[in-house]
Structure 1
């Protein structure tokens, strides 16, 4: 039997990455087939047997049904990137890869993959499962073109833990072109996420063409300039400086349809977000008559919460009903997100029109007016065959149980909503806001400018979207988790990718794998095997800093502190300094544990230098 170099290399990387766990733990994890194969997200069941199947240069893919042929067409493209030529066929016996629709799992997203001497079979009840099986197959193949691609003999049975496996991208604060949106969707799909939450409107820009209201794209889609620097650090008015450069953009309805169709082909549901009644000053810039007080208004050039919001009058309802009519026609998914968060009532309290509404509707608290507003919008969406979903503030004014809730201010709103019978998406800032920093040092000079906060990989990975406070019946209302990417300080596609990876790998496992089967220690060596795949796709991931440079791993003896470091990136170098300077290719190369004398203060710093030459931010520790 030919030597399987790729598989042996995987095992070597796995064992190397687990050294700090101890030999017994490493051996135990190395015996797990899913660990050896480096699959993410972790499948339910993986069984390996001796042998490999050599995938030839020219491949026939068996596909008959519409879903089978759709997945086969996508697989053609994936294999072409690996130097393979694939042709679709209806001759099952002559195919090296067979896509078959059959009820092998309880949901359309479940699948089975079987690799043996007669080739590769992917079986699923529906197209989504076939697609996810194809993604698993790709992870069994080398990340780059190879003359011989050997696939281990394996049987995989898999299905997701959650129905909603989401990622949100804010295109209002900063705008991203259609081609990058497609790349973003491809990256989500590669790790079996199935929901793209598209944040399309906000104070800083309106991004969707609405035929009935052309000024939304003529006026609201553009701001005159953008704030420079980290707004949250500014203390005085003179700290606020702007770039004096007009900024904006929008998606035509043709482009919206193009993105939605691209997502559908990859079994991703697109959920549009049209913010109301707050975060709406960009609307007022174009249609000031929808405000509670006279304008003029302009599309906002700052971040945060603006007190100028639409007035809940009949013209405003007509506006949103017209907008939602066009939106509903563009997005075939069941949900429309209305935002509903951060809507100050300052203008409503001052408005005679709002006071009239409160008297007429018997509302005694102006905060409850938003609930009345939301219920009217919910009824209108229902008339279009859509379900309303919003941030957890929508609970405060009352909303029908048919509406779903995104719990972002921690889990409290989600717990309350699930107990009241609402479906819930868990997306707390503490675990799912991937615009937050990846460095414990606030506003580190070694990181790009960002909004702040700290959300490391392990905190994401260890999150369980099912709150223990809920009963099993109440937990059934938890649709799943979602990671959110707000873009106040994320200005380019490259920076989106930097914030996204490798954290998206952890998100995918939170969303797909039952919590009881997850292990962060076991996840890290599997994650290490994906950097080569990200490199092959030219993804601008954040190179993880070396592990081990912290007080928890410090071994002190004989007046010295000893450090044992390791990198999560296979083939990387670790370079370090003991004088506080930033390590680079010229500083000390880490080859074995090193000692640092105690009793005097010094700063130890270490960086990972990946095989592609990119560096991590430094890990650092003050020793004294």
Structure 2
């Protein structure tokens, strides 16, 4: 009996060691085995580093000190004793080049890799173990890890043209990538809006082309305003950054954007462009931004540029772009047309192919391979060693791989981190609304579309951060990057079968967000969810111990706002906003209170569903109500919706008989004028799923916070027929006005209401919805109570202005006092607050 009690006591005393500590490693390793016990870091802490790591010793030493609080004593060599941390390169290891082995036991810490980069990857895992939430500082648990990446190419691109990021910011970005075992930094150095790389043989590229603003060769754009804006990296800067990245296991691929997106070049050296009189606009609205293919002297200039860039960047690839080329310039250019006739070409894609074959010969001369966007596959054969960056969609990556090209999968729908992360946040929307969960869902190898041999052509995965809308607020570059890059790192590293969102999210929120904060990254925290039901707002924090604050007046919550601690009883749920706060620099977007869906369905059968729902509890006021149909996931948008009807006390209010596809995300407008809390409301509609494919959606019914009075809009400016002035009369947030030219002093837009409108506030918005592009920079808004005499209101600030009328308003007018220095101007519907 006494012996049994003793055994039980021994067992209980060992429980803390038997219960494995959560290490929360991102990206998730291939194999991890935790053992009982822990290694206590001694002081002094001895570190032995292989001589092949000599360029990384300062980096290793500084990060050990930062993560353990102990300054290590570092020696170079292979000999190691007890209680040391050893970093060794063993070329005989049976692992891929970037793989590593990490073992922590009673003798010390041992990190081995087949290459120096493999050892550095193991070092990143060690740092994460030291910083895991459950690991006591100064100790590390006994563990044995064998790990290697799924893909050899794990990259991230940063656009430094539209917004210029200084050298230290670029270094910080590289540090953050290294911490996630990313191994390629794609440096987008040139574009229409700024040339950032010093080229000594063409000094005007940076003397002129690196700057935009009044009196510069480049107009203001992307928030740079009426001031001189820009900058560039000297050749010494670029060499310094290359060495910095190399010490962290990262290779830098420079991108020189040609032949399109080259306004910075043609503005600095006009002879480079086509000699045409027409101002033919690119997709972004730029003019004269294409190299002339038929001008033979241009290939000598390209030789000079590629020669200098090749000497600065030792990486085997140089990215030569090739996307969104405004080929219409070539179709009007005598030299380009003469070249077409000489070569027997029948379309301008063949000219593009000719250009890239010439560029590839230049790159070969300087021992470089070329990488290009997927458009360079058009127009003819290219060098079989060309790397293809498939950005336009997964299908373009499939096409490239089927043609036998090494392919980087970076579809904008998942890996473009300039995309907005929710419907209310800043960012592009052309590809998708892409939050961290959506980014994590990306699978780079489409098994059903590629044979096993073709799958081998998928070389890796990459993200991109284009910087058009990174001018504000402060540190939005970090907010847009993380934690989406944390998700990207796991896509590139972790085995497909080991990927699991819930597991990743647990590791991320338990320890890894704190790591990001400790690295100084102002990341986007996850927002809470707030649901209104039966007069009560209930908030669910995004993870355990998350701090959620709220505002009840419709303002964005601050760190001084009340702390959410229990459900809130209220009838004014529309005025509440909630937000997660991580620390002084880090927070989530503010979110509104939502109601539960009024209906939903999920089917994978070819069938017709007739849905009838009593939605009385959802209707609580008179107003304009919108019914929205939103697919619950990618690939769930099959089917059509028709005969949508709303009934009040069994009397039809309104019906929409026409068929609408679920893929179009229908948004239907209803007007409720006779609300009474005793009324009953019923929604009827039919869903036809015509194929045996997934059709799944949530149906929401919400009252608009704005008034939508009948209005007539006129303007002094000529409209683009595809974006007519009439778009300003429909109160549809997705439609807007585009003019055909930039606005100028004296231009105006007049909104005239059929009947005077009682409003507390009217917001007047310019630019594309959600984007600060084509906004009014110089001007003001004015308003009239009688449609004749006008009162001057606020000046436009970053494209927006507001008025606060004291009487019913008959008209609102935008008065423009100067150019917006952009190719065109855009306007939006008024937002009229009751």
Shorter-chain TM-score tier: 0.7 to 0.9
1:242-292 per-residue CA deviation (whole Å, 9 max, x = no partner) reads 722111211111111111111111121111111111011211112111221
Residue 461 of structure 2 is aligned to residue 481 of structure 1:
yes
Structure 1 position 602, deviation (Å): 4.2
Provide Cα deviations, 1:320-359, integer angstroms capped at 9, x if missing partner: 1111111111111111111101111222111121121112
Note if contact 1:217-1:250 (Cα within 8 Å) is conserved in structure 2. yes
Stretch moving more, 559-568 or 422-431 = 559-568
Greater alpha carbon shift after TM alignment, 578-587 vs 153-162: 578-587
Residues 288 and 612 (structure 1), Cα distance of their counterparts in 2 relative to 1, 3 Å cut: closer
Structure 1 CA distance for aligned equivalents of residues 282 and 384 of structure 2 = 37
1:464 and 2:443 equivalent?
yes
Q: Which residue of 1 aligns with 2:496?
A: 515
> Compared with structure 1, are the counterparts of its residues 99 and 621 closer, same or farther at alpha carbon in structure 2 (3 Å cutoff)?
same
The answer on whether the counterparts of 1:440 and 1:454 sit within 8 Å (CA) in structure 2 is: yes
Paired residues, what number? 567
Q: What SS does the corresponding residue of 2:144 show, helix, strand or coil? A: strand
Aligned to 1:157: 146
1:106 corresponds to which of 95, 105, 110: 95
Please give the alpha-carbon distance, in whole angstroms, between the structure 1 residues aligned to 2:222 and 2:457: 41
Tell whether the 8 Å contact from 2:530 to 2:537 is kept in structure 1 after alignment. Answer: no
**Kept after mapping to 2: 8 A contact 1:224/1:301:** no
2:516 partner SS: helix
User: Which structure features the higher share of helix residues?
Assistant: 1
In 2, Cα distance between equivalents of 1:502 and 1:462: 14
Change (3 A) 1:44 1:561: farther
Unaligned runs of 5+ in 1: 2-6, 12-29, 231-241
Q: Residues 506-585 of structure 1 correspond to what in structure 2 (within 5 A)? A: 506-528=487-509, 529-546=511-528, 548-549=529-530, 559=534, 563=538, 565-568=540-543, 571-576=545-550, 580=554, 582-584=556-558
Distance 1:322 1:271 in 2: 18
Greater RCO between the two (CA within 8 Å, min separation 6)? 1
Please name the residue that 2:588 is paired with.
616
TM-score by length of 2: 0.64
Shift of 1:364: 1.1
Is the 8 Å Cα contact of residues 550 and 576 (structure 2) preserved in structure 1?
yes
Report if aligned partners of 1:113, 1:121 keep a CA contact under 8 Å in 2. Answer: yes
Whole-angstrom CA distance in 1 between matches of 2:580 and 2:50: 48
Conservation of the 8 A alpha-carbon contact between 1:437 and 1:451? yes
Question: Aligned pair 1:315/2:297, yes or no?
Answer: yes
Residue equivalent to 1:16:
none
Within a 5 Å distance, the mapping from 1:405-484 to structure 2 comes to 405-441=388-424, 444=425, 454-468=433-447, 469-484=449-464
Query: Which structure would you say has the larger Rg?
Result: 2
CA apart distance, 1:105 = 3.8
Instruction: Give the equivalent residue in structure 1 for 2:29.
Output: 43
Q: Please, what TM-score do these two structures have when normalized by structure 1?
A: 0.84
Match of 2:338 in 1: 356
2:318 to 329, 333, 336: 336
User: 1:239 aligns to what?
Assistant: none
Secondary structure in 1 aligned to 2:98? coil
What is the CA–CA distance in structure 1 between the aligned matches of 2:152 and 2:541, rounded to whole Å? 36
Deviation of the 1:70 alpha carbon: 3.9
Q: CA deviation at 1:515?
A: 2.0
Distance 1:523 1:219, change over 3 A: same
The CA distance in 2 between the partners of 1:500 and 1:401, in whole Å, is 33
- The corresponding residue for 1:76 is 61
1:370-381 matched pairs, under 5 angstroms: 370-381=352-363
Q: Distance in 2 between matches of 1:36 and 1:257?
A: 40
Q: Which of 327, 334, 346 is 2:328 aligned to? A: 346
Conservation of the 8 A alpha-carbon contact between 2:100 and 2:111 = yes
Q: Is the 8 A contact 2:262 2:291 kept in 1?
A: yes
Alignment pair present for 1:96 and 2:84: yes
| Alignment RMSD | 3.1
Q: Which structure dedicates a bigger proportion of its chain to strand?
A: 2
Matched, 1:365 2:337: no
Deviations 1:548-576 (A, max 9, x none): 436xxx8x7xx5677451233x6432234
